Structure 1
Amino acid sequence: MSNFVFVVDSNKKPLNALHPGQARRLLKQGKASVFRRYPFTIILPQDSVEPSADYQLKIDPGSKTTGIALVKEDKVVWGAQLTHRGQSIKADLESRSAVRRNRRNRKTRYRKARFQNRRRKEGWLPPSLQSRVENIMTLVNRIMRYAPVTGLSQELVRFDTQALQNPEVTGKEYQQGELFGYEVREYLLEKWQRKCAYCGATDTRLEVEHIRPKSKGGSNRVSNLAIACHDCNQQKGSTDIEEFLKGKPTILSKILKQAKKPLEDAAAVNSTRNELLKRLKQTGLPVETGTGGLTKYNRSRLNLPKTHWLDAACVGVIDDLQILTTKPLLIAAKGWGSRKMCITDRYGFPSKHRSNSKTHYGFQTGDIVKATLPKGKFAGVYVGRLTTRKTGVFDMRLGDNTKISPVRHKYCVAIHRNDGYSYSF
């Protein structure tokens, strides 16, 4: 079943979300109109005095993907997964820095670096991390405009990096609490991509495995832990990993390298969680927080599959959940363009300047359109995201990243104007 449909009245006041069938019926009868495509929202032609229910907007922040769920009286009526672009921003900044450094080295006209005027505000975050907070807040504010949200929930502490690296850092009760095991297992599942480290098996029961056995001096540090299926775990037993994988040097090298991988995902989440909490509190709504261990405990207790948006629904203290949607909206942050105004060749030398005009024939890059192509290799009807050119001959990317080209502007009808994000299901 698809997400419930957001509803606003003629004064753009948010009302209770409707079942997709009810919204479809109102549209067919002419009693409502489409107000926004993503998230899908309809508008009624009159004011409404209907009392609104209480909606809780729940957020499960992640370093790469954030889960979002809208819950009404223990019923999940809307879900979304937001994919961030932190690494893309970092790469763009490094590319721009390389171009500027290249210009300085060639002694062309460029202002000298003035290191004394660089002051960072308190609470400053790198752009790649700040974008995660801004992406989440953009979506939160947007949903609050279309749904009567009365409370927010955030998974505040996903991983305790100090406890993960050294479980005996402080008191035993802190380390061995009821939810501690859930924190470690959840981190290891993320680190090893939810598959057996030795045979790559998925869709099976996975267990925590000591790479170097405790009987031979191994510790409980997270750098000595991996995820293995039951058969591999039993087969390895207390054998040293070098002996167990002596006939598989490639797998051995990969496991030892992965085990030493830093906790960069956990660090990214921990660096932004407090800033996100502060921004959520500025909305004026009550904010509930919960740990990552509690989220996994709730999901395991309710026997729900592992997805980002269902993790969000399990944030905080809950008794039961009824899932009324199975088709979350998939959102990917795309940004508003490059950080460089000068296009360079593969060697880093300037090749041409970007156009000053973003709009061509009424469209700009990022617009979601419906294209009806009458002939050619791609004849048919498509819905996708445009890449525009001043010639009027565009490219289109579909939801599965299939490229459709050429697409002429006269065959396009705008569905959703560029807002820095792409959408699919």
Structure 2
Amino acid sequence: MQIGVDPGSRYTGISLFTGSDAVSPKPVAEPAVVRAGVFSIEVQHRGNQIREKLTARAALRRGRRSRNLRYRQPRFDNRTRSVGWLAPSLRHRVETTMSWISRLQRWAPVAALHVERVAFDTQLLQDPEIAGRGYQQGTLHGYELREYLLEKWQRKCAYCGVSGVPLNLDHIRPRSRGGSDRASNLTLACISCNQTKGNQPVEVFLAGRPEMLARILAQVRKPLRDAAAVSSTRWALWKSLTVTGLPVHVASGGRTKYNRHRTNTPKSHTLDALHVGVVDEVTGWPVRVLVATATGRGTYTRTRTDRYGFPRLRLPRTKLHHGFQTGDLVRAVVRTGANQGTHVGRVAVRSTGRFNIRTATGLVQGIGHRYVRLLQRGDGWTYSRQPEQQPA
């Protein structure tokens, strides 16, 4: 068994698969690497929520200091950080991914790990000779640049905003008018916009849409906002994986996309994880994916505030009510009433004993605690299943 990891900012795909080296019929060729997916997990991170909560807390404390109407000695602002320090929102992504890999190691005999260490090789974009001319003109040529542009332009046509259609590389300043092939002069365009634009400069093509022109020119000059953050997360994850003692094989996102195109596989986070690294053939994958969403374990706040910031109500100091706490996975069987039926999902408790249960179909409110039975204690996650992408 082996594990493939496709780390990302909001979603991380993890695939448990079997790998074998099938003997090629041609004796001169290298053995083909064949994989078969066994189990797939899509981890949904809450790094953005953590960042928003930290920002709100800092603003609240800053407001408290300003409302005191007195001078407050500033904190010592030359504090050092330990080697390998990451922001809490980034550290969360690494730790949650490692926790799921540790679980899979307990459940299956894992022999190797495969991980995307970079989404695209920025050094290769700046200096194509960095890995030699053979790599530049090899089978991976063009995949790193395309992956970079897909991330930068959100996988949409820059001129009309359509997504889910084939996108072509388009020169903002046409080559016939002196434009170069640098990444800063390239964008994505659908077939219709690409043919309509032709060799016109973007200023002429969008002369009647000044707002669209200004947005595109601003996007050209703007780098990927979280490229550095995601790169830091991937490197930290790679270092954490090496601590496991298993062989860790690294690859780029361009290589993963190249593998998917060779095997004619649709794109998803878990299928990307299945195609990380060197692979020649994929014989199959699970039809359903486990979706694990990080929800946290509650909050320390003891009050709820209105829109003006004044306390509106006081929260109970205890988390356990009638044997349950918010986040538990429960089943409620209601015989009569408006909520009649069987409801399975994550519970939100109240001291009154009237609970809310969020099921796969929606929120069910006001269920008495007498009808509720515990299935699993809350562990900071909610679980669901979704069908995996299948070839067209």
TM-score class, shorter-chain normalisation, is 0.7 to 0.9
2:259 aligns with 298
* CA distance in 2: counterparts of 1:170 and 1:304, whole angstroms: 30
1:77 aligns with 38
| Aligned residue identity for 2:201 | D
| Aligned residue identity for 1:291 | S
| Aligned residue identity for 1:99 | L
Aligned equivalent of 1:403, options 354, 363, 379: 363
* CA distance in 2: counterparts of 1:274 and 1:64, whole angstroms: 16
Aligned equivalent of 1:271, options 220, 232, 239: 232
**CA deviation string 1:33-63 (max 9, x = no partner):** xxxxxxxxxxxxxxxxxxxxxx101101111
Q: Please give the residue correspondences for 1:250-265 in structure 2 after superposition, counting only pairs within 5 Å.
A: 250-265=211-226
1:107 aligns with 68
Larger CA deviation: 361-370 vs 171-180: 171-180
1:11 aligns with none
Is 1:176 aligned to residue 122 of structure 2?
Answer: no
* CA distance in 2: counterparts of 1:377 and 1:235, whole angstroms: 58
Return the offset for 1:361: 1.5
* CA distance in 2: counterparts of 1:385 and 1:217, whole angstroms: 60
- Any idea what SS the aligned residue of 1:115 has? coil
Q: CA 1:77–1:109 in 2, change beyond 3 Å: closer, same or farther?
A: farther
**CA deviation string 1:184-219 (max 9, x = no partner):** 212322333333233344443221122232334444
Return the offset for 1:394: 2.2
Q: CA 1:284–1:157 in 2, change beyond 3 Å: closer, same or farther?
A: same
* CA distance in 1: counterparts of 2:255 and 2:40, whole angstroms: 20
- Any idea what SS the aligned residue of 1:156 has? strand
Q: CA 1:339–1:257 in 2, change beyond 3 Å: closer, same or farther?
A: farther
1:379 aligns with 340
* CA distance in 1: counterparts of 2:382 and 2:288, whole angstroms: 16
Q: Please give the residue correspondences for 1:97-136 in structure 2 after superposition, counting only pairs within 5 Å.
A: 97-107=58-68, 114-115=75-76, 118-136=79-97
- Any idea what SS the aligned residue of 1:386 has? strand
Q: Is the 8 A contact 2:41 2:289 kept in 1?
A: yes
Return the offset for 1:302: 0.6
**CA deviation string 1:365-422 (max 9, x = no partner):** 222222334445443322222222222222232336x322223222222223211111
* CA distance in 2: counterparts of 1:282 and 1:388, whole angstroms: 40
| Aligned residue identity for 1:380 | G
Return the offset for 1:299: 0.9
- Any idea what SS the aligned residue of 2:281 has? coil
TM-score between the two structures when normalised by the length of structure 2: 0.84
Q: Is the 8 A contact 1:99 1:348 kept in 2?
A: no
Larger CA deviation: 110-119 vs 138-147: 110-119
- Any idea what SS the aligned residue of 1:183 has? helix
Q: Is the 8 A contact 2:129 2:136 kept in 1?
A: no
* CA distance in 1: counterparts of 2:319 and 2:96, whole angstroms: 22
Larger CA deviation: 236-245 vs 348-357: 348-357
| Aligned residue identity for 1:68 | I
2:6 aligns with 60
TM-score between the two structures when normalised by the length of structure 1: 0.78
| Aligned residue identity for 1:410 | R
Aligned equivalent of 1:242, options 197, 203, 227: 203
* CA distance in 1: counterparts of 2:94 and 2:41, whole angstroms: 16
Return the offset for 1:333: 1.4
Aligned residues: 369
**CA deviation string 1:331-355 (max 9, x = no partner):** 2111222364554433344555543
| Aligned residue identity for 1:186 | E
2:383 aligns with 423
**Among the aligned pairs, what percent are the same residue?**
49
Q: Is the 8 A contact 1:182 1:297 kept in 2?
A: yes
Q: CA 1:258–1:381 in 2, change beyond 3 Å: closer, same or farther?
A: farther
Return the offset for 1:254: 4.2
* CA distance in 2: counterparts of 1:300 and 1:236, whole angstroms: 28
Q: Please give the residue correspondences for 1:43-58 in structure 2 after superposition, counting only pairs within 5 Å.
A: 55-58=1-4
Larger CA deviation: 135-144 vs 212-221: 212-221
- Any idea what SS the aligned residue of 1:195 has? coil
Q: CA 1:207–1:129 in 2, change beyond 3 Å: closer, same or farther?
A: same
Unaligned runs of 5+ in 1: 1-54
Q: Is the 8 A contact 1:153 1:288 kept in 2?
A: yes
Unaligned runs of 5+ in 2: 20-34, 386-392
Q: CA 1:405–1:262 in 2, change beyond 3 Å: closer, same or farther?
A: farther
Aligned equivalent of 2:286, options 316, 322, 325: 325
- Any idea what SS the aligned residue of 1:212 has? coil
Larger CA deviation: 336-345 vs 321-330: 336-345
Q: Is the 8 A contact 1:157 1:273 kept in 2?
A: yes
Aligned equivalent of 1:159, options 114, 117, 120: 120
Measured on the aligned residues, the alpha-carbon RMSD in Å equals 2.8
Return the offset for 1:356: 2.2
1:388 aligns with 349
Q: CA 1:246–1:317 in 2, change beyond 3 Å: closer, same or farther?
A: same
* CA distance in 1: counterparts of 2:183 and 2:339, whole angstroms: 51
Aligned equivalent of 1:413, options 366, 373, 387: 373
* CA distance in 2: counterparts of 1:380 and 1:149, whole angstroms: 42
- Any idea what SS the aligned residue of 1:68 has? strand
